[in-house]
């Protein structure tokens, strides 16, 4: 049987009655759009984070885009982020009319090099957008200090970091706002698309509510900026409410898989994920590194194990972002990583047998290299 890099079917088998009950609850509620389930999820997700507001949105890309717009970012502004991220981080910035400015990542944990962020600030910089990639937080203290010194907004991309902590503080609660994706693979995943932006700033939350609803302040009256429809679906919201109660269990499950991998793969020459001091990693993906990555992946095909690469093409080298003007070689750590990293199967319901199958296969392939 193929071991997939991500699979929800075992989880669905365990949670089926609750998920189906969530669907039925919405269908019986009499309100199919922006009803009690979206309001309930928003209140519970905000409470989980200890922030004042959560605005449910249709996906994580729009959670970033609308988050930036609600913070007042738009054409002519620069937003500092990384190229070692999922393309939608950059799609979202670009679609506001602002200019994404890339800095490199650190060679040990592959997260934003905050020293380079300081050097990238110009008079047009308006926002810092750290991406808490793979499930652990970017070092936030230097970014907060830079933001305070230069009057910048901070929007955290938490699409991969639900439940992650730094110094005990939850991801998404340090900056001015934070964007989440609930794409099914995520640590908190829906059964379809979903997203949310959280903030404790009342005016930012108000703008977000307007931006997800055609720009309307009240029903049928578009105030100031016309916008699109970016509402979180009511069924997905109810499923997310149920799953939010289990978020800490999902995180514990992912950590247990990571620990088994770390124990089983120690001493193989494979570079395993490193957790920065003070961070509590949630292992959205389990990213390992080896200079002979392509050979390893090729040989692992014989074991019927699916692997993934997050990400094989740095965003600044993609043809679709050529207009940003980054030459190859401009972000050397990011570019080197793209040729050497790959991800092992990772999800909380991954069985011990499958974990052992992965460990055994990787050990055998590496020994024979």
Ligand X SMILES: Cc1ncc(COP(=O)(O)O)c(C=O)c1O
Residue from 42, 45, 56, 61 binding ligand X (CB under 6 A): 61
Query: If binding is defined by CB under 6 A, does position 166 make contact with ligand X?
Result: no
Query: If binding is defined by CB under 6 A, does position 160 make contact with ligand X?
Result: yes
CB of 159 to ligand X, least distance (A): 3
Kindly write out the interface string for residues 115-154 of this chain, putting x where it contacts ligand X by CB under 6 A and - elsewhere: ----------------x-----------------------
Q: Which of 78, 63, 329 is nearest to 177 (CA)?
A: 63
CB of 149 to ligand X, least distance (A): 26
In the range 191-250, which residues lie near ligand X by CB under 6 A? 193, 195
CB of 232 to ligand X, least distance (A): 11
Q: Specify the DSSP element, H or E, that contains 319.
A: none
Q: Which of 66, 121, 55 is nearest to 95 (CA)?
A: 66
Kindly write out the interface string for residues 87-106 of this chain, putting x where it contacts ligand X by CB under 6 A and - elsewhere: -xx-----------------
Residues 325 and 319: their CA atoms lie apart, in Å, by 10
Q: Which of 32, 35, 101, 57 is nearest to 199 (CA)?
A: 57
Coil/strand/helix, residue 102: strand
Residue from 41, 46, 60, 188 binding ligand X (CB under 6 A): 60
Given the complex with ligand X, which of 160 and 355 has the nearer CB atom?
Answer: 160
Residues 117 and 130: their CA atoms lie apart, in Å, by 10
CB of 30 to ligand X, least distance (A): 28
Angstrom distances, CA of residue 49 to CA of 41, 207, 318, 326? 12, 20, 35, 37
Q: Which of 117, 109, 86, 111 is nearest to 183 (CA)?
A: 86
Given the complex with ligand X, which of 164 and 296 has the nearer CB atom?
Answer: 164
In the range 181-200, which residues lie near ligand X by CB under 6 A? 181, 183, 193, 195
Q: Specify the DSSP element, H or E, that contains 116.
A: helix 114-119
- Per CB under 6 A, residues contacting ligand X are 59-61, 85-86, 88-89, 131, 157, 159-160, 181, 183, 193, 195
């Amino acid at each position: 049987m193929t071991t997939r890099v991500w699979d929800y079917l075992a989880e669905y088998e365990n949670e089926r009655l609750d998920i189906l009950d969530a669907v039925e609850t919405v269908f019986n509620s009499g309100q199919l759009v922006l009803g009690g389930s979206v309001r309930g999820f928003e209140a519970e997700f905000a409470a989980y984070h200890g922030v004042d507001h959560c605005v449910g949105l249709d996906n994580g890309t729009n959670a970033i885009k609308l988050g930036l717009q609600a913070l007042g970012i738009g054409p002519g502004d620069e937003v500092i982020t990384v190229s070692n991220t999922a393309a939608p981080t950059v799609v979202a910035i670009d679609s506001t009319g602002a200019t994404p400015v890339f800095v490199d990542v650190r060679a040990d944990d592959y997260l934003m090099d905050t020293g380079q962020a300081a050097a990238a600030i110009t008079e047009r910089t308006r926002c810092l957008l750290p991406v808490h990639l793979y499930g652990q937080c970017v070092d936030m203290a230097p970014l907060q200090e830079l933001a305070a010194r230069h009057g910048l907004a901070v929007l955290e991309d938490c699409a991969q970091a639900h439940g992650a902590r730094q110094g005990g503080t939850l991801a998404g609660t340090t900056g001015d706002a934070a964007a989440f994706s609930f794409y099914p693979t995520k640590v908190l995943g829906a059964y379809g698309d979903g997203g949310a932006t959280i903030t404790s700033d009342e005016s930012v939350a108000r703008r977000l509510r307007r931006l997800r609803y055609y720009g309307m302040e009240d029903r049928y009256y578009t105030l100031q900026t016309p916008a699109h429809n970016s509402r979180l679906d009511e069924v997905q919201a109810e499923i997310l409410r149920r799953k939010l109660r289990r978020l800490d269990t999902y995180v514990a499950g992912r950590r247990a898989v990571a620990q088994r991998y770390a124990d089983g793969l120690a001493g193989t020459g494979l570079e395993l994920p490193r957790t920065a001091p003070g961070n509590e990693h949630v292992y959205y993906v389990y990213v390992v590194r080896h200079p002979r990555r392509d050979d390893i992946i090729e040989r692992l095909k014989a074991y019927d194990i699916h692997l993934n690469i997050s990400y094989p093409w740095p965003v600044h080298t993609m043809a679709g972002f050529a207009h940003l003007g980054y030459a190859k070689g401009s972000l050397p750590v990011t570019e080197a990583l793209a040729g050497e990293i790959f991800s092992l199967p990772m999800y909380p319901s991954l069985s011990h047998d499958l974990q052992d199958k992965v460990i055994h296969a990787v050990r055998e392939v590496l020994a024979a290299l």
